[in-house]
Structure 1
């Protein structure tokens, strides 16, 4: 494993930032990666009118994206899976020992559902809050890591 590396994921359904610090949280937080998912910020109407819809249809009933906010929810799920895949790759590279996640409750739930078991075992703490718009220098004061 990485020598006591802590990753901190701070985000919401449309953007996230991943930071790293030592597991004792005594060092500065270093930005590892920034993520944007523009479709999650788009209006539901705009998503419905996209001609190339990779999420069209389901096996059981009408297409979810035709329901109110259905396509938006699909995009939120897609972003959660994207973040989960990045965390899996980080785990496989032994890039972190522990993980802290700060996200609003609804997106945190989506993310928890798609995290792999091996990443879930590294989660030290979940914080139910949206700090995605805070400047990086303020995050260590808001996100408890010890």
Structure 2
């Protein structure tokens, strides 16, 4: 049986995926995601020769601009989370979804999620609740 609702609480480097039933009384942590590359500075990313996502210092490309490398990693993480939500739909794991993320990353998520996920999007909030304890999340994210 599908969960009534999934709640994705994310920022550009960390996310937590919760599920709850119709009454939304008890939230269960389903998965946690970490994207360490998003936490690194662009210069650190460029200096990693073994990183397949690193830019090329010898070529003047947009990904070698000061913040472009980090933005690229943020976008990769947004797509990873969007793919997870898509798999949830394919598995019939949830009926509706709520997303809470800081404004810039929320914009990336909105672009990355499929129309199928968008149809199930009940609410999206511009807020970073990744550090908020699970017991405090229900009072910050209105589900009713």
TM-score scaled to structure 2, two decimals?
A: 0.91
SS in 2 for 1:32: strand
For structure 2, the residue ranges without an aligned partner over 5 or more in a row are none
User: What is the alpha-carbon distance in structure 2 between the residues aligned to residue 127 and residue 145 of structure 1?
Assistant: 11
1:5 offset after TM fit, Å?
1.2
From the superposition, tell whether residues 55 and 113 of structure 1 become closer, same or farther in structure 2 (CA, over 3 Å): farther
1:119 offset after TM fit, Å?
0.6
Aligned equivalent of 2:17: 18
1:45 offset after TM fit, Å?
1.5
CA contact (8 A) 2:4 2:21 kept: yes
Q: 1:1-146 counterparts in 2 under 5 A?
A: 2=2, 5-25=4-24, 27-51=25-49, 52-54=51-53, 56=55, 62-146=60-144
SS in 2 for 1:138: helix
CA contact (8 A) 2:8 2:18 kept: yes
CA deviations over 1:35-81 (Å, ceiling 9, x no partner): 00000001221111111333647xxx942321111100000000000
1:24 offset after TM fit, Å?
3.2
1:22 offset after TM fit, Å?
1.0
SS in 1 for 2:94: coil
CA contact (8 A) 1:23 1:98 kept: no
User: What is the alpha-carbon distance in structure 2 between the residues aligned to residue 45 and residue 28 of structure 1?
Assistant: 42
SS in 1 for 2:26: coil
